[in-house]
Structure 1
Amino acid sequence: MESKRSQFLLGLIKIQNNKNEEAIALLTPLIKNYPDIEDYILLNLAKAELLNKKYEEARAHALQ
């Protein structure tokens, strides 16, 4: 569990540092592997995708 939490936090740091592709790569697998915080993962994944101009993907994750 600690590893998943670390990946999530690292994903947030990547978003703050404008490394959105790296954030997307970290957050995407966590959706299935960390259902306890799925909503937070999807929100931040959508944010990273939006900042990376992946509008359709961001919309899809925001609406899940």
Structure 2
Amino acid sequence: MPFSSENIEIKSALIVINFKQWNPETSDPIEKVKEEQYIEDGYTLNGQHGLKEYIKILERERNQRNNS
């Protein structure tokens, strides 16, 4: 899609701005998210080849460190 003022999803922008302005002492709710749920749900990573490959690389490197 060519440049358009509609390219910015307003809800996403508001969430990012809100996150940026959090009090540093506020606990981060992202810590409660279970990565595996999104990795394995068959939906979130659909078509996300780059992120899938990055996750594989991270897992491979983590396994290499743990086996050293």
| Greater fraction helix | 1
TM-score, normalised to structure 2, is 0.29
TM-score, normalised to structure 1, is 0.31
Larger Rg: 2
**Greater RCO between the two (CA within 8 Å, min separation 6)?**
1
